[in-house]
A and B are shown apart, each in its own frame.
Chain A
Amino acid sequence: MNAQTRMEDTVSAREKLVVIGNGMAGCRAVEEVLERDGDRYDITIFGAEPRVNYNRIMLSPVLAGEKTFDEIVINSAEWYAENDIELVSGDPVSHIDRAAKTVLSQSGRVEPYDKLLIATGSDPFIIPIPGNDLAGVITFRDLDDVDKMLAAAEKGGDAVVIGGGLLGLEAAHGLSLRGMKVTVVHLMPTLMERQLDEAAGYLLRQELEKRGQTILTGANTKVIHGIEGHVAGIELEDGTRVKADIVVMAAGIKPATGLAKSAGLECERGIVVDDHMVTSDPDILAVGECVQHRGACYGLVAPLWEMCRSLADHLTDAPTGYAGSVTSTKLKVSGIDLFSAGDFSGGDDCEDIVMRDAARGVYKRVVLKENKLIGAVLYGDTADGNWYFDLLKKEEDISDIREGLIFGQAFASGGALADPNAAVAALSDDAEICGCNGVSKGKVVQCINDGAHSLDAVRSQCKASASCGSCTGLVESLLSLTLGGELESGPASMCKCTSFTHDDVRRLIVEKQLKEMPQVMQELHWTTPDGCSACRPALNYYLLCAWPGEYEDDQKSRFVNERLHANIQKDGTYSVVPRMWGGVTSPKELRAIADVVEKYDARMVKVTGGQRLDIFGIRKEDLPAVWADLNAAGMVSGHAYGKSLRTVKTCVGSEWCRFGTQDSTGLGIKIEQMTWGSWMPHKFKIAVSGCPRNCAEATIKDFGVVCVDSGYELHVGGNGGIKVRATDLLCKVETEEEAMEHCAAFIQLYREDAHYLERTAPWLERKGLDWIKAQMFDDPERVGRLARRFHYSQQFMQDDPWARRAAGERADLHRHLATVRPMETEYA
């Protein structure tokens, strides 16, 4: 009896702290308060789940079978007892009465408080689509959800996870390990776009696909289909259907503010708190994922610890104040090392340092601003994650270790080794430089001393860096160490994003079977996260040329003219050139063009140098309608805007002309029908003249045919332009068929070999006419093989882009977001 009385006395002397939420935030806050003053509060915790506090972020390993529930319990029943805390579990609070200072639970229990702490966390975001309430639609938030997923996984079958963020990928991983066939459906184009940049997101996707998951990005779920009230599959906006026995909804979380809102506390996205975690009511505090502090809501665990410290300081009258958190993320998927922290979205006042090691599958990027580290993304090697995070949080000046920063703590802090050249100099002679070809440092140095004074020379003589190229930097260091100032500069690199030349990049795309742009950038160690306006269009072309029918054209790497299939003019309007085969037109086509000119108020229509008509002054939003009208008259895109086949200019030839030797018009039309639509390194013009008087000016074209009595002279490598170049004679053939086959073969050789933006004239001068002849004629099979590759590629290229746009494809490129009328209150 005595003990009981004493205890009640103590209780009444103590202030009453009620905590709503028995999760990580609520319990941690209590722990922090107890640590500061164990006697001050009489504490009651209400929890919605019927269990003690466990580590919610470890649910993923539980799902994956790597941990058991017991292993993730943070506060056991004993903890509550030892600290004299009353736990009311499985009975959530349903109402707060601020006037009476009491809370009411679902079961009807009323509990008075002096201080109230709301730690209700967050709720899963359920995307508002039909079928989201079917049985088998599961969220991933608590142990009950995990149990539901495990029960489903026992039966095997298909799982769809909606959401390719941290939570979704961890759920997908767990379900996949449990034997389900998993498809991840993600709205954005890259996985974990809030934590990763495009390059790292790409590597992650590759790894997950290798593990058997299907990843659909840019995928908007339209509906969840059910059979007899249970999930059967999902359907995407584009009509794709995916079978599913369960659907895990992991599209995000939202702060759980319902209780606070109905109590009249100030809420925006979360419950608004000050630096001491106090809400708009001084006796009510809030902490964790349910709060909004200085405009930010957090969905990660680290900020929670910091919030709880400030909260406890305040509750024990030693206020300090929380100033917001810098967060870092690690993905808890075994075998995938991934780390991100801070702000890595970049900006022109920021500087990126990127290191890629394709052989090890490593991508590291740190972002600097004013000599401080502000963000980091690491994939494949996260050993230095914490070191970077520490530099970031402490805002340390990194100027002294900048050179070696990207190589990590061991390297950067190694004094003399911070100079990459010094690091290479310190290597022993038998240290391996080139792993692909097994070349040691000693061998490279000897090779340089024997006269290989450039990167290319080293590559050809001892093969170091001649394969994957990842040791290029090391070889360059050895060159400069060995030769001092005598280093000869080799061919220029493709752009500032890479040390590889155009030739290297083209060769490696084929050799290493690189089929996507982020893959090229990773494997070839691009030093920027997403390239630049010089390399992106070039890579897009190289990939398109190397993998016809496989590579998907990247619109955002296309120059505007090729994206909008028209030529931009200085006033921002466009000009439109329909194809006129061989320069021949008809009344029907001319009428259609005339109608378009009037209907869309085109300011000018002009005859071009390539024998067709150019309609000027069309607005981008009218382009699809213009094309629809031209298509209706049988006309297709003239590609007057593209690094592609432009026109085939002809004269009237033997059909009309008294000097004509062959049907030059007919041959020109056939050649144009064979070659239209093909993407090239640069624009490509063809002409066919019916006799050596050459009225079609075939000898200043990329490919020119001059008809003679005995056949066809084929000329190559000419152009007008700033520096006029007349063609060289490639060969003479006897039949139209041969002329066309040689034309296809020459184009393909140019397509496969030239640098992006290099026309045939400078290409021919760089390589030499003899080289081109040797390529085409040394092996009698070669012309046929080249032509066949061209025709294969053309199957995929000869698809009128205007028709697709007129039918509504990529309408977003042509329309405005909206029009703002300043006098109105909202956009129209």
Chain B
Amino acid sequence: MMPGKWLDIGPTTQIEPGMAATLPVEGGEEIAVFHTVNGRFYALVNSCPHRQGPLSQGIVHGDSVTCPLHNWRISLSTGAALGGDSGCTPTIPLKIDGGRLFLLREAVVAPRGAAGPRAA
């Protein structure tokens, strides 16, 4: 069977609003899937552009997350560092269909730097 373009990672209800969950990728970088209190979902490589802190463990507020290691604030939609900092974490295209979360398969398995669309 041909793998689909989108990878099903389960129901939206498994992540509480305001929290994130992790998705390790064998041979690749772990992914963090965020659910904001306003009901949006985002997927990013689970690594802060600063010192690779696990963003999934940060406090989520609005559409950004504060890294637990050194309080960098990262945009969940673009992966870019906000405020005075600069750097960018790769984002993974995510869609919701029928109450389930899907990640763009090629962005999940691609090595870092070759992942999906990204902001400057």
Contacts and interface: CB of A to CB of B under 8 A. Distances in A.
B16 A820 contact: no
Interface string B25-47: 11110010100111110000000
Contact of B60 (A529, A556, A568): A556
Contacts of B109: 820, 822
Nearest to B54: A572
Given A194-B39, A533-B58, A570-B51, A346 B63 contact: yes
B89 interface: no
A198 interface: yes
Contacts of A568: 53-54, 57, 68-69
Contacts of A416: none
A99 interface: no
A533 B13 contact: no
B53 A572 contact: yes
A827 B62 contact: no
A827 B100 CA distance: 13
Contacts of B8: 826-827
B63 A347 contact: yes
A475 B118 CA distance: 45
A197 B38 CA distance: 6
B115 interface: no
Given A556-B18, A819-B23, A822-B26, A346 B7 contact: no
| Interface residues of chain B: helix, strand, loop or mixed (majority) | loop
B61 A532 contact: yes
A825 B19 CA distance: 27
A530 B37 contact: yes
B38 A198 contact: yes
Contacts of B19: 555-556, 812-813
Contacts of B27: 822
Contacts of A766: none
Contacts of A187: 13
Interface in A535-575: 536-537, 555-561, 563-564, 568, 570, 572
Given A345-B38, A812-B21, A820-B24, A556 B16 contact: yes
A203 to B, nearest CB: 15
Contacts of B66: 533
Given A269-B98, A346-B63, A347-B63, A188 B108 contact: no
Contact of A530 (B54, B61, B98): B61
A344 B15 CA distance: 20
B57 A564 contact: yes
A532 to B, nearest CB: 5
| Interface residues of chain A: helix, strand, loop or mixed (majority) | loop
* Interface band, chain B: 35 or more
Interface residues of A, number: 51
B114 interface: no
Nearest to A252: B99
A467 to B, nearest CB: 29
Contacts of A198: 17, 37-38
B64 interface: yes
Contact of B39 (A193, A536, A561, A825): A193
A210 interface: no
A193 B36 CA distance: 11
A667 B3 CA distance: 66
A822 B108 contact: yes
B75 A816 contact: no
B40 A559 contact: no
A533 B59 contact: yes
A344 B63 CA distance: 11
A563 B40 CA distance: 22
B3 to A, nearest CB: 4
Contacts of B91: none
A430 interface: no
B58 A827 contact: no
A165 to B, nearest CB: 12
A341 B114 CA distance: 37
B14 interface: yes
Interface in A772-828: 812-813, 816-822, 824-827
10 contacts: A193-B39, A346-B63, A352-B62, A530-B61, A530-B62, A556-B59, A564-B57, A817-B23, A820-B28, A822-B27
Interface of B: 1-4, 7-10, 13-19, 21-28, 31, 33, 36-40, 51-54, 57-64, 66, 68-69, 71, 73, 75-78, 82, 98, 108-109
A-B residue pairs, 6 tightest by C-beta: A556-B18, A533-B66, A822-B109, A560-B57, A533-B59, A560-B68
